[in-house]
Amino acid sequence: MREEEIEKLRGVVRDCVSKHLYSSAIFFADKVAAFTKDPADIYMQAQALFLGRHFRRAFHLLNASQIVLRDLRFRYLAAKCLEELKEWDQCLLMLGDAKVDEHGNVFDTKDSNVMYLDKDGEDREINISSAICFLRGKAYEASDNRAQSRLWYKAAVKADPLCYEALERLIENHMLTCEEEASLLSSLQIGPEDGWLLSFYSCLIKKYDKENVVEAKFRELEKESCISDPSDPSVVRTLKSNTDLLACKAEYYHQCGEYQKCFELTSVLLEKDPFHLKSTLVHLAAAMELGHSNELYLMACNLVKDYPQKALSWFAVGCYYYCIKKYDQSRRYFSKATSLDGTFPPAWIGYGNAYAAKDEGDQAMSAYRTAARLFPGCHLPTLYIGMEYMRTHSFKLAEQFFMQAKTICPSDPLVYNELGVVAYHMKEYNKAVWWFEKTLAHIPSPLSELWEPTVVNLAHAYRKLKMYNEAISQYEKALTLTTRSVSTYAGLAYTYHLQDNFTAAITYYHKALWLKSDDQFCTEMLSLALVDECSRGVDPKIEFR
């Protein structure tokens, strides 16, 4: 057969692949390889077999070729076949010997003389070494060696920053701390023409920076643009309405406690792209915080129908039952989510929270410890372990875990708040004030109602230090956030009482009792304030005529 006829057949194979006609692609690729015995055509045949899900046959074809150990593409595709067959040890053997250090730098490889045969290479292709590092990471992760998988994922991103999948694994599976994520991004070799990519990646990582820093990142990325029509520079395309970018923004709102803003944004996103799973997860989290049980029910029904094998679907069902306080059912579905995907962090945390809600501390601790082991870059499991210890009045242990959470994520205000609460319980009031002030310094302004308890806690700590004016100022600040808090009115009344301002104390005790008429503390203290007010007697300067 003439070369032009063979080239025509190669074109047919490529067209069949592009139209997903894999049996046709396999048929014609087999004939081309039989005619030419060309390694590139053998590779094309193996590729068609792989896409047609004939993994064992594709692996046999590649393994039988003499070039498999000398051409990285052959080796990589053979390893991909073994990945699909779940033969992880064989997959690692096929990828060859290599070592990686803790910074993701690969060394001591025996592949220095390998070829890289690529007949149809594109101008911008993912580095084959990066793809191999990524596959090594997946194999180690599947073998439950998460420490090695983390290093190989880092190596994949460093070998080629365009290997987004490796970065996604590191971020979604919480394999790195905040500092490690930032350090990895700063080490990437990204050219000036891909500056937008570095900006985008910086929006994907944990967003606990100061509000102005995070907002500046989003603004910078939204300004990134390209002129779509050189003849008309006014036609400019930007990423401003990109779904992934808006999902990052929604995630940031959720981290800040701006649940209503987050919910509104994800609602718009899901109207635009109903199957965007990252937006779906953030939407579920916001709906949970806002108590929108109807929304959770509808989302759960749709997800179970569309994605019955995804952990996210059953996590949504668990969220619905948690929201309506049916904790036993919620635990069952969170457990199902973890069995479908053991690397899905929200399901493990939900599983622990469902036990904690029923005061089943040992089971909750077990779930949180598993999550802490699986997701070393996520501080929430450690934070919740601290909360469980605090619930049982083991304040020293609680403080240790809160400090550990602070090390993992040094800018989450919730961690500082819990450290303040522990210090308060341990009667270290100066320390408590310091932690509560640090909490408020990490919260975006203006303050939302979510952080009202922190302001009240700060006021309580000031009161304990007999700094009554500062305490009153904080109580009044808390009342600007919500006017329906009994503890705020009670604390304010008690502070006035301690200042011997009985009239103001009586007023605020009454306000507290109006919200909760059977509050024992306020009832008793109101009686004492009335007695104290009466015992002052009549001012001698006042004359009754």
Residue 106 host element (H or E): strand 106-107
Please give the structure tokens belonging to residue 381: 């499991």
Q: With contact defined as beta carbons under 8 Å apart, do 86 and 74 qualify?
A: no
Please give the structure tokens belonging to residue 445: 């302004």
User: What does each C-alpha distance from 422 to 173, 380, 419, 463 come to in angstroms?
Assistant: 29, 17, 5, 17
Residue 361 host element (H or E): helix 361-374
pTM, to two decimals: 0.84
Nearest to 409 by CA among 178, 242, 200: 178
What distance in Å separates the CA atoms of residue 420 and residue 414, rounded to the nearest whole number? 10
What distance in Å separates the CA atoms of residue 11 and residue 14, rounded to the nearest whole number? 5
The dihedral region occupied by 486, where left means phi > 0, alpha psi between -120 and 50, and beta the remainder, is alpha
Q: Does the residue 299 lie in any domain?
A: no
Q: Virtual CA dihedral for 117, 123, 124, 129, nearest 10 degrees?
A: 20
Q: Which residues of 374-396 are buried (b: 16+ CB within 10 A; e: fewer)?
A: bbbbbbbbbbbbbbbbbeeeebe
Beta strand 106-107 pairing with 225-227: unpaired
Domain containing residue 31: CATH number:
1.25.40.10
Q: With contact defined as beta carbons under 8 Å apart, do 427 and 396 qualify?
A: no
What is the 8-class DSSP label of residue 500?
Answer: T
Q: With contact defined as beta carbons under 8 Å apart, do 345 and 319 qualify?
A: no
Nearest to 365 by CA among 379, 351, 378: 351
Q: Does the residue 86 lie in any domain?
A: yes
What distance in Å separates the CA atoms of residue 393 and residue 78, rounded to the nearest whole number? 56
The dihedral region occupied by 319, where left means phi > 0, alpha psi between -120 and 50, and beta the remainder, is alpha
Nearest to 6 by CA among 119, 121, 123: 119
Amino acid at 154: K
Q: Does the residue 522 lie in any domain?
A: no
What distance in Å separates the CA atoms of residue 131 and residue 145, rounded to the nearest whole number? 19
Q: Does the residue 320 lie in any domain?
A: no
Alpha-carbon radius of gyration of the chain: 31
Number of domains in the chain: 1
Q: Does the residue 123 lie in any domain?
A: no
Local confidence pLDDT in tens for the 545 residues of the chain: 688 899 999 999 999 999 999 999 999 999 999 999 899 999 999 999 999 999 999 999 998 887 877 888 999 999 999 999 999 999 999 998 888 888 788 875 555 445 544 444 445 678 899 999 999 999 999 998 999 999 999 999 999 999 999 999 999 999 988 888 889 999 998 887 778 888 888 888 876 665 666 777 777 777 765 544 555 544 446 777 888 888 998 988 888 778 898 999 999 999 999 999 999 999 999 999 999 999 999 999 999 999 999 999 999 999 999 999 999 999 999 999 999 998 899 999 999 999 999 999 899 999 999 999 999 889 999 999 999 999 999 999 999 999 999 998 887 889 999 999 999 999 999 999 999 999 998 887 778 888 899 999 999 999 999 999 999 999 999 999 988 899 999 999 999 999 999 999 999 999 999 999 998 999 999 999 999 888 875 454 444 33
What is the 8-class DSSP label of residue 111?
Answer: -
- For residue 40, give its domain range: 1-96
Exposed, middle or buried by CB within 10 Å (0-12, 13-18, 19+), for 184? buried
User: What does each C-alpha distance from 286 to 253, 401, 464 come to in angstroms?
Assistant: 9, 26, 36
Q: Which residues of 423-451 are buried (b: 16+ CB within 10 A; e: fewer)?
A: bbeeebbebbbbbbeebbebbbeebbebb
What is the three-class DSSP state of 225? strand
Question: How many other CB atoms sit within 10 Å of the CB of residue 466?
Answer: 12
Q: With contact defined as beta carbons under 8 Å apart, do 381 and 352 qualify?
A: yes
Please give the structure tokens belonging to residue 325: 């306080």
Nearest to 117 by CA among 65, 71, 77: 71
Whole-number pLDDT of residue 322: 96
Q: Does the residue 83 lie in any domain?
A: yes
Please give the structure tokens belonging to residue 1: 């057969």
What is the three-class DSSP state of 288? helix
Q: Does the residue 36 lie in any domain?
A: yes
What distance in Å separates the CA atoms of residue 264 and residue 245, rounded to the nearest whole number? 15
Q: Does the residue 244 lie in any domain?
A: no
